[in-house]
């Protein structure tokens, strides 16, 4: 029997080829963003995509999130009056259509990477009395905050109307272009991401933002899905929090988003092989 060996001729070939035992690929539907959407994202560092979900998808996702909400936060970043829930893709299938929404995949392809990783996926219910969250950039977890770095892209899905009063996410327009050592001042030059349920705030990982103050008597429920380039470490350890028995049941691109992918030439291999081989085993 003859086997065909892969020959790598140059170092740059290494960055183009998957050398870890390739695996069949499934084409995934994504929807390219409009020029206006990309212009707003590039200028402000964020854009609100409106009405992306059908009522049934939105209501099913909302029900699942409300059932899964955990206790209030352990620190002021999580929020002492804010409930969160993590490891969501191990717990429900109701969020799959949001995490892999064709318009979000289109934004990822256009502005981050065609095969990103899901870095975090959590519910955030900002409760009455919550103080404003400390401003931060999601890429701030990585040491390199160059404005042109493509580390991450985050999405916040609204399940309640987002208002200035109930804790709409605060965004500092253009802050994704700030130099690495600049932080928001106290002058409050933020804008609230006012949204309706089913809208999605899509933002650059370098954008300074924060959960808002909730001065109302009701919660403000959101799902946030944060994506990173495939060569970076994810915030949630997705391949440990979502067991292979579950990943095996998921449609593309969810396994890839959860780490079942190779970034050329070898990143992410398991025993020298493409991680999807694990899913092939019964
Ligand atoms: O809930 C929000 O509006 C933003 C929360 C946030 O940015 C975070 O917790 O990292």
| CA atoms within 13 Å, Cβ hemisphere of 19 | 14
Per the prediction, the chain carries an average pLDDT of 93
* Domain-embedded: residue 14: no
Q: What is the Cα–Cα distance from 254 to 256, expressed in whole angstroms?
A: 5
* Domain-embedded: residue 90: yes
* Domain-embedded: residue 180: yes
Residue ranges of E strands in 71-187: 82-85, 117-126, 152-158, 170-171
What angle separates helix 102-111 from helix 35-44, to the nearest 10 degrees? 60
- C-alpha 136 to ligand 1 mean position (Å): 9
Q: What is the CATH number of the domain that holds 58?
A: 2.60.120.620
What secondary structure letter does DSSP report for 111? H
Q: Report the nearest-CA residue for atom 4 of ligand 1.
A: 211
**What is the distance of C-alpha 62 from the center of its chain?**
18
Bin 62: left if φ > 0, else alpha if -120 < ψ < 50, else beta: alpha
Does 124 contact ligand 1 (Cβ within 6 A)? yes
Does 89 contact ligand 1 (Cβ within 6 A)? no
186 by Cβ neighbours in 10 Å (0-12 / 13-18 / 19+) ranks as: exposed
pLDDT digits 0-9 by tens, 117-170: 999 999 999 999 999 999 999 999 898 878 888 899 999 999 999 999 999 999
Cis peptide before 106 (omega within 30 of 0): no
* Domain-embedded: residue 56: yes
pLDDT digits 0-9 by tens, 183-227: 998 667 999 999 999 999 999 999 999 999 999 999 999 999 999
- The structural domain count of the chain equals 1
Q: Residue 156 has which token pair?
A: 């916040």
Q: What is the Cα–Cα distance from 8 to 11, expressed in whole angstroms?
A: 8
Cβ-Cβ contacts under 8 Å for 282 (sequence gap 6 or more): none
Q: What is the Cα–Cα distance from 136 to 172, expressed in whole angstroms?
A: 10
* Domain-embedded: residue 202: yes
* Reported pTM: 0.94
Report, as an integer, the average pLDDT of 58-68. 98
* Domain-embedded: residue 263: no
Atom of ligand 1 nearest to the CA of 82: 1
Amino acid 124: pLDDT: 98
Domain extent for 114: 29-240
Does 156 contact ligand 1 (Cβ within 6 A)? yes
- C-alpha 168 to ligand 1 mean position (Å): 9
User: Which of 46, 209, 213 has most ligand 1 atoms within 8 Å of CB, for mutation?
Assistant: 209
Does 83 contact ligand 1 (Cβ within 6 A)? no
Amino acid 187: pLDDT: 67
Contact 259, 117 (CB under 8 A): yes
- C-alpha 140 to ligand 1 mean position (Å): 13
- C-alpha 205 to ligand 1 mean position (Å): 12
* Domain-embedded: residue 148: yes
Q: What is the CA radius of gyration of the chain?
A: 19
Amino acid 104: pLDDT: 98
Does 239 contact ligand 1 (Cβ within 6 A)? no
What secondary structure letter does DSSP report for 135? P
- C-alpha 124 to ligand 1 mean position (Å): 7
What phi and psi, each to the nearest 5 degrees, are found at residue 226? -115, 135
* Domain-embedded: residue 159: yes
- C-alpha 105 to ligand 1 mean position (Å): 21
Does 207 contact ligand 1 (Cβ within 6 A)? no
């Amino acid at each position: 029997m003859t086997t065909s060996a892969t020959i790598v001729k140059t170092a740059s070939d290494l960055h183009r080829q998957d050398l870890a035992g390739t695996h069949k690929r499934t084409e995934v539907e994504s929807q390219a963003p409009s020029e206006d959407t990309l212009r707003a994202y590039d200028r402000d560092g964020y854009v609100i995509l409106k009405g992306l979900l059908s009522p049934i998808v939105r209501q099913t996702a909302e029900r699942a999130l409300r059932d899964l909400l955990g206790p209030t936060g352990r620190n002021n970043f999580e929020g002492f009056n804010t409930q969160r829930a993590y490891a969501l893709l191990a717990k429900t299938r109701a969020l799959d259509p949001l995490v892999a929404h064709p318009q979000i995949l289109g934004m990822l392809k256009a502005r981050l990477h065609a095969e990103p990783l899901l870095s975090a996926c959590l519910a955030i219910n900002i409760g009455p009395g919550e103080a404003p969250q400390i401003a931060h950039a999601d890429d701030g977890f990585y040491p390199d905050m160059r404005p042109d770095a493509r580390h991450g892209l985050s999405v916040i899905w609204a399940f309640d109307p987002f208002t200035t009063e109930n804790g709409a996410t605060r965004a500092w327009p253009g802050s994704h272009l700030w130099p690495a050592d600049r932080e928001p001042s106290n002058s409050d030059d933020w804008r609230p991401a006012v949204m309706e349920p089913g809208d999605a705030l899509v933002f650059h990982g370098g954008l300074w933002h924060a959960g808002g103050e909730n001065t109302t008597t009701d919660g403000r429920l959101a799902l946030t899905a944060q994506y990173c380039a495939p060569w970076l470490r994810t915030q949630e350890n997705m391949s440990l929090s979502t067991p292979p028995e579950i990943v095996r049941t998921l449609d593309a691109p969810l396994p890839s988003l959860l780490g079942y992918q190779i970034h050329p030439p070898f990143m992410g291999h398991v025993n020298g092989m493409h991680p999807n081989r694990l899913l092939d085993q019964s």
